[in-house]
Structure 1
Amino acid sequence: MTDTTIRDGDRVTAKVRALLDRAEHPNTPEPEREAAMAKAYELMAKHSIDRAALAAAGQAADEITTLNIRFQAPYAHEKMMLLFHIGDTYGMKAARTGSVTNPAALTIVGWRSDLDQVDTLYTSLLLQSGHGLAAATPPAHLSGAKITVWRRSWLTGFRREVVSRLRATRRRATVQHDREHTGDTSAALVLVDRGEAVSKMFSELFPDTIRPRVSQRRTSASGSEAGRAAGRRADIGGTRVGSAGRRQLGGAR
């Protein structure tokens, strides 16, 4: 990796943090907050695609590695599916690696630079979903187990909306990269090659894969829609919460 590449990455990180500081300030008007958050993730997505292209050209170091996360109650399954789908957006593979006593655990296989972003996004979105769910109010006519169903549905709706936004932003970043680098190898092809390398390594590490399954639990339409609404407002350009924050949120490694 060149000194220029390192400096560029540092500048992107500084810009993202400045945008998020503005977005998170209590006195920032809502339109400005939303614009700052959107720009922060746009920068993250662009940096990810640029880094992949540099690595493919031998101008930046990268390697396939793993990320291990354990998920704790409450809502361990919903937390696990959030990480699984964020990783999938980045072309990663995941296997359930939990024990009989704690089955909610994943090992994610992917490129180190992408895993750094997935870790960042997951910890940030986990925090946001926790705050959003705590502030959400189930319909007054619900009680007991039906409230639990509503809250699980809220988390599922939040995850689906956020992941849809992540995929769309990443697609736009890929197209934009190719427009700006017409003489280079297509970023889309680079991502395909990187995905194939990840799949090969994943098959070697986990020949008998147990992939996370879609939950068959009861759902609540109103809970899901409330979660989707929160997902549309979510900041998808957050900085890393860190291991301490992850443990507090029930997503310890």
Structure 2
Amino acid sequence: MSTPNDPRTPSDGSRTVERAFQIALYADPGAAVLDTAASLLAADPGADGELVRRGEEFLAVAWRRGWQPADVVRMVRRELDEVHVRLVSELVLAQAAGDDRPRGRRWTDQLADLERRYGDTAAPAPAPRSDRFSHATAVLELYRLLLRLPALQPLDEPARARPTPRSSEPRALARIRALLAKAEATGYPDEAEALSAKAQELMARHSVDEALLAARTPDADAPGACRIGVDAPYEQAKAVLLDAVATANHCRAVWNEPFGFSTVVGFEPDLEAVELLYTSLLVQATTAMTKAEAAQRAGGRKRTKTFRQSFLAAYAHRIGTRLATAAEEATARTAESQAADLLPVLASREVAVTAATDRLFPETTTARLRGVSDAAGWTEGSRAADRAQVTPHRPLN
């Protein structure tokens, strides 16, 4: 028999949270039941701490199901509103403080990014007394989403001992970032795409150097994987662009349309190259598309969705070919000066990436690109990609 002082006796706050969850989370969803549950929580300030603790439990379950912090925040942003994004970000940071499981670099980077954006509070803050109902409603909406997150392919990133990077490697990555930053900032499409092509060549050379370094290391790295957001609108064309960038950098990309991301499989230096280049090319493509559409409208033609979809599809198709050419030429030039055994090393890494992809995704389907019906959009997108100078005018140091 329990007594009021028995620690096993649920507190009033715990009972309030349990009642609210039974109404709003474990029953058929509806506005009426959500309002009832939110009213219970709003009327009991003693439930606030338990409400946060239960949210951290939901996150721990999501991690076990293969989700990562950036994935959860991305899903919340897709399905709910900015207030929910802040709530889940603060909850992730609070949960991370007590998470003693070893995490990899990408997980740590995702937490650091959330800290920069939403780290002004140490824990999810209670709502003002005058707005407790709205706060409770948002929390319940968030938890209802977290509770229904399905299992994903786990992308665990165990910490591995790696050789100390050579002094030239940070310079290479810094120069890649600098080239892409210039490409995004310039107002001249020809210059932007030429800078991107130079960045791709440097990425290819950096990948070759990493492959040779790993081959000479007794405990060489295995392929890893990361998820990259592919957001609406025009997500199909963006997924095609990401696939082209991944292929040019010795990776494989698998698009998950319902959840708005692609999983990219490859070796770590190549994964980082894909993230950098895809983000930059997407910025450049959007800028070029906006200018091309403005020119079309100035000529009296009204095109919106179909023009943009066709533009991005053509851009992705053409830039993929040019990136692949730039990567192949850079690899060939580097092979002549590096080592005779480079090609077997690259071949073995390609086999490893394919095997890792098949292991993560034993069943995949091919998606057909829809909505590519605007001839002017396709032409303008192809022209934007054609302006890229895929053969650098001078060698990179």
Q: Aligning the two structures, in what range does the TM-score lie when normalised by the shorter sequence?
A: 0.7 to 0.9
Equivalent residue number for residue 10 of structure 1: 170
State the shift of 1:20 in Å: 5.4
What is the SS of the residue equivalent to 2:231?
Answer: coil
State the shift of 1:185 in Å: 0.5
Equivalent residue number for residue 250 of structure 1: none
Q: Distance in 2 between matches of 1:34 and 1:70?
A: 23
The answer (yes or no) to whether the contact 1:67–1:115 under 8 Å persists in 2 is yes
Equivalent residue number for residue 365 of structure 2: 210
Q: Distance in 1 between matches of 2:368 and 2:331?
A: 29
The answer (yes or no) to whether the contact 2:190–2:387 under 8 Å persists in 1 is no
State the shift of 1:121 in Å: 0.6
**Counterpart pick for 1:48 among 207, 217, 236:** 207
Equivalent residue number for residue 81 of structure 1: 240
Task: Say what the alpha-carbon RMSD is for the aligned residues.
Answer: 3.1
The answer (yes or no) to whether the contact 2:252–2:264 under 8 Å persists in 1 is yes
Length-normalised TM-score, structure 1: 0.75
Q: Which runs of 5+ in 1 are unaligned?
A: 237-253
The answer (yes or no) to whether the contact 1:96–1:105 under 8 Å persists in 2 is yes
The answer (yes or no) to whether the contact 1:125–1:234 under 8 Å persists in 2 is no
Q: Distance in 2 between matches of 1:34 and 1:106?
A: 24
The answer (yes or no) to whether the contact 1:2–1:59 under 8 Å persists in 2 is no
Q: How many residues align?
A: 226
State the shift of 1:42 in Å: 2.6
**Counterpart pick for 2:262 among 84, 106, 122:** 106
Q: Distance in 1 between matches of 2:247 and 2:337?
A: 26
The answer (yes or no) to whether the contact 1:23–1:37 under 8 Å persists in 2 is yes
State the shift of 1:189 in Å: 2.7
- Structure 1 stretch 195-204 or stretch 130-139: which is displaced more? 130-139
Residue 154 (structure 1) aligned with residue 311 (structure 2): yes
The answer (yes or no) to whether the contact 2:248–2:320 under 8 Å persists in 1 is yes
**Counterpart pick for 2:381 among 208, 218, 227:** 227
What letter matches 1:181 in structure 2? Answer: Q
Q: Distance in 2 between matches of 1:20 and 1:71?
A: 19
Identity of aligned residues (%): 31
What letter matches 1:51 in structure 2? Answer: E
Equivalent residue number for residue 345 of structure 2: 190
Residue 116 (structure 1) aligned with residue 275 (structure 2): no
What letter matches 1:198 in structure 2? Answer: V
Q: Which runs of 5+ in 2 are unaligned?
A: 1-161, 391-397
The answer (yes or no) to whether the contact 2:184–2:280 under 8 Å persists in 1 is no
What is the SS of the residue equivalent to 1:219?
Answer: coil
State the shift of 1:192 in Å: 1.8
State the shift of 1:172 in Å: 0.7
State the shift of 1:226 in Å: 1.0
The answer (yes or no) to whether the contact 1:65–1:110 under 8 Å persists in 2 is yes
What is the SS of the residue equivalent to 1:6?
Answer: coil
Between the two structures, name the one with larger relative contact order (CA 8 Å, sep ≥ 6): 1
The answer (yes or no) to whether the contact 1:158–1:231 under 8 Å persists in 2 is yes
Q: Distance in 2 between matches of 1:151 and 1:33?
A: 20
Q: Distance in 1 between matches of 2:364 and 2:270?
A: 22
State the shift of 1:70 in Å: 3.3
What letter matches 1:94 in structure 2? Answer: A
